[in-house]
Structure 1
Amino acid sequence: MTALVIAEHDNASLKPATLHAVTAARQCGGDVHVLVAGHNAAAAAQAAAQVAGVAKVLHADGPALEHGLAEDLAAQVLAVAGGYSHILFPATASGKNTAPRVAAKLDVSQISDITKVDSADTFERPIYAGNAIATVQSGDAVKVITVRTTAFDAAAATGGSAAVESVPAVAASGKSRFVGQELAKSDRPDLTAAKVVVSGGRALGSAEQFQSVLTPLADKLGAAIGASRAAVDAGYAPNDLQVGQTGKIVAPQLYVAVGISGAIQHVAGMSGSRVIVAINKDPDAPIFSVADYGLVADLFEAVPELVKAL
């Protein structure tokens, strides 16, 4: 029984989501192999070989794989899928785009967004916006799985000594092409990997106040900044900051919710946080039901005072 983890990388280094998926794969039992599919990605393959618990790295290198287009990546996974009992993808935008294509081609049911491995064929995953946990048992010969990375500790990035095996790269499918990308640069930690997250809601009132209130607090805490869907829809923050069921799932050591009511959609994306602090002037706001510490106060007064105290 061997599991294959599909690595996420930038052709130079592994993305943190891969390390979390390796941990889930190890819990499935048996050896863990990692597929690094890219172009001029030898450095990423070597990084995968050093991950603790990885027995082998498959390195597919070709121009069609440079940008991780789902059609070509799925074809590459299918080309090496024989003999694997589990194929695991991080539950990221890329993983969610590619995994269903692989499952469909293998004629198996995808097991989505797992948060726990009970055994080699039994997994737990949230349903109903995280209000219930389903235990799913699969009888398929191959389990195609997406892993909620925040639910698993990251495997150690060093300490391994896996062999790197080159495998033939697939040709371009021609079904899609890479046009371009615009990458936002920030000195802040990545939202999904940050140990501290400060999120704001619609109560902040404007994009200017969203920045002026939250930025000093985030700077003091060394935190990433997030937002509720209501704040994003109102134009206070960009889409990539949205935390929630339809945004990003986070599980930091500390989550500070400022002016967020606590709708189910938002709570589904941050309820796994170690410590949750809520600041809201409404004492009946649902966010207080999941918060470890709650402060009923006007955020425009409380947050600056908190910044001064820090």
Structure 2
Amino acid sequence: MPDSRETSARRSSLKSLALSAVALPVAPLYGVSLAYLAFHPRNRAQHGHPRDFGLPYVDLRIPFTSGKYVHAWLCPGSDERVVIVGHSLGMNKGRSLAHAKFLHDAGYTVCLFDHRNHGSSSDDRSFVGLGDRFASDITAIVSYLRLRRGYGSAGIAVYGFSFSCFSSMWALTHEGFEVDALVCDSGPGHDVPPLLRRFLEAKELPLPALLSGEPSRSVVTSVLGNLGMAMVRAQWPPPAVGKFAQIPLLFMSGERDVIVPPSSVDALAERFPQAETHVLPNAEHLLGLQTDPEAYANVVLDFLKRALG
């Protein structure tokens, strides 16, 4: 005879399965809403400010269309070396202040920005073409700094984190966009659909208990991955030609990253002969600087010194 605990566990499992089956008709709709939420997060609160790190700053509003702008903090340093710093999916530029601090301490001008739909930047309710839209945030910043802020002759690097790594690289497909180096932390990976699935598994995206069991969970996951790719609407991985084959690239991945594992980053980096890769020991997703601040900063600064001078 099974004991009471086994019986209770079996009943709980059957109940969960039954509830998930009942919720199955809702699963595709939730997958659609989750895909939209991933690129249009609700929480827009800033996490920190330059003054918290003793950084000088100027507030910038850089237009990306009529009445819409990307918000940025410009932390002046060298007139000849500039690093444009992004952020991860659903976050904002405040999360990258510790990175801005070690870059500014090394003499670089640093420009931190919020992608559209994030932080203090304007909303863009578009559902498709998001790859080009997020990439154009970066191209607008580079153009603004070169033409309006006196950095026309500066060496410029773009520094992405997870989600913004994809935007940073995809910006290279935009005509007239010129930078001197790319730094990518915790991405990008070779494939996009698994990335969205892993965000869900890591609880970076909300999943109600009613949809967390099978078969509803698989439906939500499938819709999220496939629709997310359709919304981005970008050829990935990009071809290793033109600017993609010329600009110095640094890909850093955490040894314990389960969202964008080193194997996925390495698979992408292998396409580009000029790319450098560095695995951060014991680091999880986006936690390389926190895990070993000195070693992390040394890797980035060594690369930038060689790339920008």
TM-score by length of 2: 0.30
Flag the structure with higher helix content: 2
Flag the structure with higher strand content: 1
TM-score by length of 1: 0.30
Higher relative contact order (CA 8 A, sep 6+): 2
